[in-house]
């Protein structure tokens, strides 16, 4: 019957976002009763190495919410063309249009709201699907009522949406929450963006939200103005449903800078609207030709993929624990425990697109063998690119492409550089002062050179169409001789030794030292 | 806000109170004013007066529902909300190929009041003037709508959207040449504006330039997405392309099976295209356009139909159908009916264009 369209990002948009959002997702799902109903959440521009916002809070969502939730992930590289035109990191019009394009065509209605709203049918037992199924075609709004922060934060149980809706029915009376704030037409009510229900067909006819609105604010009013023109009337559903907003003004959200807030031009986008349509985007609103990843929380989750990959690559431990050491005298010892390290490596990439092409530069053949199994087990379909310059690695692995480093560099979306000892065996103890052999030195020299060159040339060798820097993952680069090497070139955080892994983007070091390092790295091969 | 709601109602009432819709609108405004000043009982009385003059005045029913709701009379409010929605959805929809505002259903009394208030506060902006004009034009008040559009054009004299709407008002006023000139201007700027192509086609047809009118509709048809079968069907019907119209109306009916016009036009197009007659169940009734359908399938007589055809547009629709039914058996009589449509009907009607094309082809 209807598709709810929401958007957001895995960041901290305002106070206690996680609780507000969980309450809202669960409450919206609770008032759905049609098999086609869905919540479309566009996760916009969350960094590639982070999970989407709903994945980050999945444990607080009800089974019903997980079942109806479709997450559409817009990657940073898909947002980058707008980056210089806006101060915002999440764009409402683009997000909502991406979802509209991909909404269930069997649904008659699109409901635009936000991740801090609860919709309470006035008739207990009635669902929003029932309500929308019974009303005639139109453009509907409801007034927004505020819930003081204390109430929702202290009294709501995230995973009890029915209980929360019952509490709201009670509070509305006890605490006089229901105040209708009228507004100038075409905005029938204040804060109208928290409930605008339009026919899906109408939204397609008017070309969705206006995607030139990239400075934030007023997207909802612009839509109201255009739909009001298109439909003639703005109808109300106040007799059917009350909309409650989890107030969050203790801490201003990122796009709220008080009187200094930058926003879309009010006159241009509301008072001078002259047509329902946006002909300039008639053919491309909602990015119809862009492949948008869809993520579900009720199946094929990141956790399921992660464990499936590791189960293929490593066997369960046979000892209560294994040992290593950060004692100073062991600084030169490059041995590490592969089964322990591999989960931390996989953790770095499970959130990347499945089609990612990965360059793998490694010394240990067992690392390559194990990683390739995990890669496929995690459901990645992109190739693993292994430079011909790396000797001693298995050659007949499925999905592995061998070619000269220079040929592979422009194909890679992501890099792993593994600085282990080619001669380390699976059974030998770790970090007990083992020296490098000549073969180890030779292989590591190659890896170090390739690493430096890859970082130095990263910007100029990106795959066609890619504009954002590529991420580098270093394995066995903490508290050993490659720690400095790696962090001279890659802006990695300080990580615990135990993980063995660092990751980050090429450093933009404009100091003399940085320039010298970059110059030398370019000559590294 | 107060400025509008406190306007002396008696002045307005002197012009139109007790006189059908106009009078009902005056009481409606009175009710709105009382509603906003929290005089619930006074508002209810005013809306009752409006409804006594115009029982189907859905805007007053809806406003009445909101007052009852606020007064805590929930049961009464609920039935009034539903009544308003029923009335609105029973109003006949406009032709799907025309500009958006002609496809709307309603009285737009609340909208014309509300946008009048807005434009008195934001005089130098476009939207309130255009929306106000649309609310009036959709109810056939073309002269007042023209005034609103001209106010918008004072703010932005070359704004194509405002020029196009002014053209629509002129078209409704029968000033076809003036309308045509504006549509030409708009189409120079936006040659792919399908809605303006449709309107220019109507203006051209009204001026007797049928070939050029068909050119515009042909172009509009090409621009319409395949998904918009209802609009494509209507354009095909205007041009007298009954095979195409039949196909598109069938698609439109699949999407909106309750729209009585789509069934009527499907049957009409099938008959005129010589396709086998469909035995669709017809829910004939006394209301318009159900009675047209009933006539088409032989459930009512032409006398009964003509009795219900109480406006020039309805009369034209009726005469067109009368022609359709006898086109096979008595082509000359059919042509006479269609000539009546062209002589007396409004040029914006689909039937007017279809009849014009029928006559032109039979004369060729």
CATH code: domain of residue B75: 1.25.40.10
Residue A522 confidence class, pLDDT cut points 50, 70, 90: confident
How large a percentage of chain A has pLDDT more than 90? 87
Q: Are residues A53 and A194 in the same domain?
A: yes
Q: Are residues B292 and B317 in the same domain?
A: yes
**Contact list, A232 vs chain B (CB under 8 Å):** 101, 104-106, 108, 111, 134-135, 138
What span, in angstroms and rounded, lies between the C-alpha atoms of A14 and A309? 36
Q: Are residues A266 and A401 in the same domain?
A: no
pLDDT at B94 over 90: no
Q: How many independent structural domains does chain A possess?
A: 2
Residue B19 confidence class, pLDDT cut points 50, 70, 90: low
Q: Going by C-beta distance under 8 Å and a sequence separation of 6 or more, which residues neighbour residue A98?
A: A42, A72, A74, A286, A287, A290, A292
Q: Are residues B265 and B293 in the same domain?
A: no
B104–A270 CB contact, under 8 Å: no
**Contact list, A238 vs chain B (CB under 8 Å):** 66, 69
**Contact list, B65 vs chain A (CB under 8 Å):** 239
Query: A86 in the Ramachandran plot: left (φ > 0), alpha (ψ -120 to 50) or beta?
Result: beta
Assess B67–A contact: CB distance below 8 Å, yes or no. no
A271–B227 CB contact, under 8 Å: no
Is the sign of the CA dihedral A460, A463, A465, A470 positive or negative? negative
pLDDT at B7 over 80: no
Q: Rg of the Cα trace of chain A?
A: 27
Distance (Å) from the alpha carbon of A161 to chain B's nearest alpha carbon: 26
Assess B118–A contact: CB distance below 8 Å, yes or no. yes
Q: Going by C-beta distance under 8 Å and a sequence separation of 6 or more, which residues neighbour residue A62?
A: A26, A29, A30, A159, A161
Q: Are residues A218 and A353 in the same domain?
A: no
Residue B11 confidence class, pLDDT cut points 50, 70, 90: very low
What span, in angstroms and rounded, lies between the C-alpha atoms of B205 and B214? 8
pLDDT at B342 over 70: yes
Q: Which residue of A has its CA nearest to B155?
A: A272
User: Tens digits of per-residue pLDDT, A367-421?
Assistant: 999 999 999 999 999 999 999 999 999 988 999 999 999 999 999 999 999 999 9
Distance (Å) from the alpha carbon of A187 to chain B's nearest alpha carbon: 11
What span, in angstroms and rounded, lies between the C-alpha atoms of A368 and A395? 10
DSSP per position, B184-216: HHHHHH-TT-HHHHHHHHHHHHHTT-HHHHHHH
Assess B115–A contact: CB distance below 8 Å, yes or no. yes
**How are strands ordered across the β-sheet holding A241-246?**
A117-121, A241-246, A144-147
The burial of A425, by beta-carbon neighbours within 10 Å (0-12 exposed, 13-18 middle, 19 or more buried), is given as: exposed
Name which residue leads in pLDDT, B17 or A392.
Answer: A392
Contact A18/A53 with Cβ under 8 angstroms? no
Q: Which residue of A has its CA nearest to B231?
A: A205
Distance of CA A69 to the CA centre of its chain: 15
If you search the block for the tokens 């969502």, which residue do you land on?
A61
Q: Are residues A246 and A310 in the same domain?
A: no
Count the neighbouring beta carbons within 10 Å of the beta carbon of residue B344: 12
Residue A25 is assigned to a structural domain of this protein: yes
pLDDT at B283 over 80: no
Residue A312 is assigned to a structural domain of this protein: yes
Query: Closest partner residue to B89 among A136, A204, A238, by Cβ?
Result: A136
Assess B246–A contact: CB distance below 8 Å, yes or no. no
Q: Are residues B103 and B215 in the same domain?
A: yes
Count the neighbouring beta carbons within 10 Å of the beta carbon of residue B306: 15
Q: Are residues B232 and B215 in the same domain?
A: no
pLDDT at A19 over 90: yes
Tokens of B288: 């318009």
B100–A276 CB contact, under 8 Å: yes
Residue A293 is assigned to a structural domain of this protein: no
Residue B9 confidence class, pLDDT cut points 50, 70, 90: very low
Residue A260 confidence class, pLDDT cut points 50, 70, 90: confident
CATH of the domain at A470: 3.40.50
Q: Are residues B106 and B214 in the same domain?
A: yes
Assess B5–A contact: CB distance below 8 Å, yes or no. no
Nearest to A468 by CA among A401, A512, A400, A413: A413
Q: Strand locations in A377-509, DSSP E?
A: 384-387, 400-403, 414-418, 471-475, 490-492, 501-506
**Contact list, B101 vs chain A (CB under 8 Å):** 229, 232
Residue A110 confidence class, pLDDT cut points 50, 70, 90: very high
pLDDT of residue B16: 36
**Contact list, A267 vs chain B (CB under 8 Å):** 125
Q: Are residues B243 and B297 in the same domain?
A: no
Q: Are residues A320 and A399 in the same domain?
A: yes
Query: Closest partner residue to A274 among B106, B130, B192, by Cβ?
Result: B130
Q: Are residues B116 and B84 in the same domain?
A: no
A235, A253, A285 - which closes a domain:
A285
Residue B13 confidence class, pLDDT cut points 50, 70, 90: very low
B126–A274 CB contact, under 8 Å: yes
DSSP per position, B87-124: HHHHSPP--TTS-GGGG--S--HHHHHHHHHHHHHSTT
Tokens of A465: 């169409």
User: Tens digits of per-residue pLDDT, B96-120?
Assistant: 999 999 999 899 999 999 999 999 8
Which structural domain, as residue segments, surrounds residue A409? 299-522
Q: Are residues A7 and A156 in the same domain?
A: yes
Parallel, antiparallel, or unpaired for β A293-296 and A69-74? Answer: antiparallel
If contacts are CB pairs under 8 Å, which of residues 295-354 in chain B contact chain A?
none
Which of B100, B126, B154, B163 to substitute to test the interface with A, most A CBs within 10 Å? Answer: B100
Number of cross-chain residue pairs from A and B with Cβ atoms under 8 Å apart: 80
pLDDT of residue A520: 79
Residue A166 confidence class, pLDDT cut points 50, 70, 90: very high
CATH of the domain at A28: 3.90.550.10
Q: Which residue of A has its CA nearest to B67?
A: A239
pLDDT at A54 over 70: yes
Across residues A107-111, what is the average pLDDT?
98
A285, A318, A353 - which closes a domain:
A285
* Beta-carbon-side half-sphere exposure of residue A456 (alpha carbons within 13 Å): 20
Count the neighbouring beta carbons within 10 Å of the beta carbon of residue A382: 18
If you search the block for the tokens 């939204």, which residue do you land on?
A203
pLDDT of residue A512: 80
B228–A230 CB contact, under 8 Å: no
Residues of chain A in Cβ contact (below 8 Å) with chain B = 135-138, 184-186, 204-205, 225, 228-233, 235-236, 238-239, 267, 270-276, 279
Contact A257/A217 with Cβ under 8 angstroms? no
Residue B4 confidence class, pLDDT cut points 50, 70, 90: very low
Q: Are residues A257 and A231 in the same domain?
A: yes
CA distances from A271 to A218, A305, B11, B109, B130 (A): 11, 50, 30, 21, 10
A236–B227 CB contact, under 8 Å: no
Q: Are residues B133 and B215 in the same domain?
A: yes
**Contact list, A137 vs chain B (CB under 8 Å):** 89
**Contact list, A204 vs chain B (CB under 8 Å):** 227
pLDDT of residue B10: 34
pLDDT of residue A525: 64
Name which residue leads in pLDDT, B94 or B61.
Answer: B61
If contacts are CB pairs under 8 Å, which of residues 122-181 in chain B contact chain A?
122, 125-128, 130-131, 134-135, 138, 152, 156, 159, 161-162
Distance (Å) from the alpha carbon of B119 to chain A's nearest alpha carbon: 10
A273–B156 CB contact, under 8 Å: no
Q: What is the mean pLDDT of chain B?
A: 91
Residue A291 is assigned to a structural domain of this protein: no
pLDDT of residue A250: 78
What span, in angstroms and rounded, lies between the C-alpha atoms of B317 and B6? 43
Residue A290 is assigned to a structural domain of this protein: no
DSSP per position, B36-86: HTT-HHHHHHHHHHHHHH-TT-HHHHHHHHHHHHHTT-HHHHHHHHHHHHH
Which of A106, A189, A198, A232 to substitute to test the interface with B, most B CBs within 10 Å? Answer: A232
Parallel, antiparallel, or unpaired for β A2-8 and A109-112? Answer: parallel
Distance (Å) from the alpha carbon of A390 to chain B's nearest alpha carbon: 55
Q: Are residues A370 and A265 in the same domain?
A: no
Which of B59, B64, B103, B127 to substitute to test the interface with A, most A CBs within 10 Å? Answer: B127
User: Tens digits of per-residue pLDDT, B254-272?
Assistant: 998 888 899 999 999 999 9
Contact A197/A240 with Cβ under 8 angstroms? no
Parallel, antiparallel, or unpaired for β A414-418 and A400-403? Answer: unpaired
What span, in angstroms and rounded, lies between the C-alpha atoms of A189 and A183? 5
Residue A300 confidence class, pLDDT cut points 50, 70, 90: very high
Residues B85/B86/B92/B93 CA torsion (nearest 10 deg): 40
User: Cis (ω within 30 of 0) for the bond into A186?
Assistant: yes
A270–B127 CB contact, under 8 Å: yes
Nearest to A113 by CA among A198, A216, A227, A19: A198
Across residues B192-213, what is the average pLDDT?
97
Residue A462 is assigned to a structural domain of this protein: yes
Q: Rg of the Cα trace of chain B?
A: 22
Query: Closest partner residue to A272 among B81, B100, B125, by Cβ?
Result: B125
Q: Are residues B147 and B248 in the same domain?
A: no
Q: Which residue of B has its CA nearest to A131?
A: B82
The CA-CA-CA angle for residues A383, A393, A345, to 5°, reads: 60
CA distances from A158 to A8, A175, B236 (A): 18, 21, 55
Q: Are residues B234 and B205 in the same domain?
A: no
**Contact list, B230 vs chain A (CB under 8 Å):** none
Q: How many independent structural domains does chain B possess?
A: 4
pLDDT of residue A263: 84
Q: Are residues A354 and A500 in the same domain?
A: yes
Residue B6 confidence class, pLDDT cut points 50, 70, 90: very low
Distance (Å) from the alpha carbon of A32 to chain B's nearest alpha carbon: 22
Q: Are residues B293 and B364 in the same domain?
A: yes
The burial of A239, by beta-carbon neighbours within 10 Å (0-12 exposed, 13-18 middle, 19 or more buried), is given as: buried
Q: Are residues A249 and A357 in the same domain?
A: no
pLDDT of residue B75: 95
ipTM of the modeled complex: 0.92
B85–A135 CB contact, under 8 Å: yes
Q: Which residue of A has its CA nearest to B99?
A: A230
How large a percentage of chain B has pLDDT more than 70? 94
Contact A183/A190 with Cβ under 8 angstroms? yes
CA distances from A416 to A243, A437, A504 (A): 49, 23, 11
How large a percentage of chain A has pLDDT more than 70? 98
Q: Going by C-beta distance under 8 Å and a sequence separation of 6 or more, which residues neighbour residue A219?
A: A92, A93, A96, A193, A209, A210, A213, A264
Across residues B205-212, what is the average pLDDT?
97
Kindly state the helix (H) or strand (E) to which residue A300 belongs, with its residue range. Answer: none
Q: Are residues A179 and A258 in the same domain?
A: yes
Tokens of B315: 């009369």
Distance (Å) from the alpha carbon of A240 to chain B's nearest alpha carbon: 9
Among A263-272, A289-298, B252-261, the range with the most confident prediction by mean pLDDT is A289-298
Tokens of B305: 């139909």
Tokens of A293: 């990843």
If contacts are CB pairs under 8 Å, which of residues 219-238 in chain B contact chain A?
227-228
A232–B108 CB contact, under 8 Å: yes
Q: What is the mean pLDDT of chain A?
A: 94
Q: Are residues B286 and B275 in the same domain?
A: no
pLDDT at B46 over 70: yes
What span, in angstroms and rounded, lies between the C-alpha atoms of A230 and A247? 32
CA distances from B212 to B201, B205, B206, B229 (A): 7, 8, 11, 23
pLDDT of residue A524: 67
A274–B127 CB contact, under 8 Å: yes
Contact A221/A270 with Cβ under 8 angstroms? yes
Q: Are residues A51 and A195 in the same domain?
A: yes
pLDDT at B17 over 50: no
Across residues A257-282, what is the average pLDDT?
89
Which structural domain, as residue segments, surrounds residue B357? 282-364
Distance (Å) from the alpha carbon of B12 to chain A's nearest alpha carbon: 23
Stated pTM of the model: 0.92
B106–A272 CB contact, under 8 Å: no
What span, in angstroms and rounded, lies between the C-alpha atoms of B248 and B266? 9
B134–A229 CB contact, under 8 Å: yes
A285, A309, A334 - which closes a domain:
A285
Kindly state the helix (H) or strand (E) to which residue A196 belongs, with its residue range. Answer: strand A196-199
pLDDT of residue A193: 93
Distance (Å) from the alpha carbon of A168 to chain B's nearest alpha carbon: 19
């Amino acid at each position: 019957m209807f598709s709810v369209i929401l958007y957001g990002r895995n960041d901290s948009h305002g106070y206690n976002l996680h609780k507000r959002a969980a309450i809202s997702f669960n409450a919206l799902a609770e008032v759905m009763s049609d098999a086609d109903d869905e919540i479309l959440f566009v996760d916009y521009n969350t960094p590639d190495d982070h999970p989407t916002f709903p994945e980050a809070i999945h444990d607080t969502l009800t089974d019903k919410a997980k079942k109806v939730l479709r997450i559409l992930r817009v990657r940073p590289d898909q947002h980058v063309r707008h980056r210089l035109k806006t101060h915002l990191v999440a764009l409402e019009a683009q997000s909502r249009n991406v979802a509209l394009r991909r909404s269930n065509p069997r649904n008659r209605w699109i409901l635009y709201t936000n991740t801090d709203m609860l919709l309470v049918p006035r008739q207990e037992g009635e669902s929003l699907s029932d309500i929308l199924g019974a009303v005639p075609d139109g453009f509907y709004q409801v007034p927004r009522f505020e819930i003081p922060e204390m109430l929702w934060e202290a009294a709501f149980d995230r995973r009890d949406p029915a209980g929360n809706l019952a509490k709201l029915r009670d509070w509305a009376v006890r605490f006089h929450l229901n105040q209708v704030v009228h507004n100038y037409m075409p905005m029938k009510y204040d804060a109208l963006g928290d409930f605008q229900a339009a026919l899906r067909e109408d939204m397609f006819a008017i070309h969705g939200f206006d995607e030139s609105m990239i400075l934030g604010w007023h997207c909802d009013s612009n839509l109201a103005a255009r739909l009001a023109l298109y439909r003639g009337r703005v109808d109300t559903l106040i007799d059917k449903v009350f909309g409650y907003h989890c107030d969050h003004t203790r801490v201003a959200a990122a796009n709220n800078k008080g009187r200094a807030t930058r926003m879309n031009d009010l006159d241009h986008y509301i008072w001078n609207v002259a047509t329902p349509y946006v002909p300039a985007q008639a053919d491309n609103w909602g990015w119809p030709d862009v492949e948008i990843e869809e993520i579900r929380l009720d199946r094929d989750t990141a956790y399921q993929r992660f464990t499936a990959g590791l189960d293929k690559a490593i066997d369960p431990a046979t000892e209560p624990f294994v040992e290593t050491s950060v004692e100073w005298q062991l600084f030169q010892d490059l041995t590490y425990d592969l089964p322990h390290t591999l989960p931390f490596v996989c953790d770095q990439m499970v959130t990347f697109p499945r089609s990612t092409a990965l360059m793998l530069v490694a010394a240990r053949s067992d690392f390559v063998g194990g990683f390739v199994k995990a890669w496929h087990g995690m459901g990645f379909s992109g190739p693993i690119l292994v430079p011909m310059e790396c000797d001693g690695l298995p050659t007949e692995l499925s999905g592995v492409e061998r070619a000269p480093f220079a040929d592979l560099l422009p194909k890679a979306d992501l890099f792993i550089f593994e600085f282990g000892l080619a001669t380390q065996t699976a059974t030998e103890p770790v970090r007990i002062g083992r020296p490098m052999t000549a073969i180890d030195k030779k292989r590591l020299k190659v890896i170090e050179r390739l690493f430096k060159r890859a970082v130095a040339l990263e910007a100029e060798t990106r795959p066609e169409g890619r504009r954002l820097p590529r991420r580098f993952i270093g394995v066995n680069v903490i508290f050993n001789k490659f720690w400095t090497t790696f962090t001279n070139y890659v802006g990695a955080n300080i990580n615990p030794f135990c993980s063995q892994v660092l990751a980050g983007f090429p450093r933009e070091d404009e100091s003399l030292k940085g320039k010298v390092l970059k110059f030398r790295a370019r000559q590294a091969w | 806000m107060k400025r509008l709601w406190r306007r002396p109602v008696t002045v307005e009432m002197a012009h139109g109170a007790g006189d059908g819709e106009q009078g009902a609108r005056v009481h409606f405004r009175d009710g709105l004013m009382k509603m906003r000043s929290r005089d619930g009982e006074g508002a209810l009385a005013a809306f009752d007066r409006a409804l006594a003059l115009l029982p189907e005045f859905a805007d007053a029913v809806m406003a009445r529902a909101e007052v009852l709701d606020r007064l805590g009379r929930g049961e009464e409010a609920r039935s009034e909300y539903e009544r308003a929605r029923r009335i609105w959805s029973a109003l006949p929809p406009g032709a799907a190929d025309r500009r958006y505002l002609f496809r709307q259903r309603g009285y737009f009394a609340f909208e014309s009041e509300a946008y009048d208030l807005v434009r008195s506060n934001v005089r130098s902006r476009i939207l309130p003037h255009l929306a106000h004009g649309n609310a009036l034009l959709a109810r056939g008040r073309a002269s007042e709508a023209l005034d609103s559009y001209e106010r918008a054009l004072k703010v932005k004299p070359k704004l194509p959207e405002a020029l196009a709407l002014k053209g629509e008002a002129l078209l409704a006023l029968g000033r076809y040449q003036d309308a045509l000139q504006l549509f030409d201007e708009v189409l120079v700027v936006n040659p792919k504006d399908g809605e303006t192509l449709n309107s220019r086609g109507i203006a051209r047809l009204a001026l007797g330039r049928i070939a050029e009118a068909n050119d515009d509709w042909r172009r509009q048809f090409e621009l319409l997405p395949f998904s918009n079968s209802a609009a494509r069907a209507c354009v095909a019907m205007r041009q007298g392309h009954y095979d195409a119209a039949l196909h598109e109306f069938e698609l439109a009916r699949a999407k909106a099976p309750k729209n009585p016009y789509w069934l009527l036009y499907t049957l009409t197009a099938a008959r005129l295209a010589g396709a086998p007659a469909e035995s669709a169940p017809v829910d004939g009734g006394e209301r318009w356009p159900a009675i047209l359908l009933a006539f088409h399938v032989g459930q009512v007589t032409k006398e009964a139909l003509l009795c219900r055809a109480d406006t020039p547009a309805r009369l034209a629709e009726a005469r067109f159908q009368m022609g359709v039914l006898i086109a096979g058996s008595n082509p000359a009589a059919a042509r006479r009916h269609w000539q009546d449509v062209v002589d007396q009907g409004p040029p914006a009607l689909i039937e007017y264009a279809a009849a014009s094309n029928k006559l032109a082809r039979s004369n060729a």
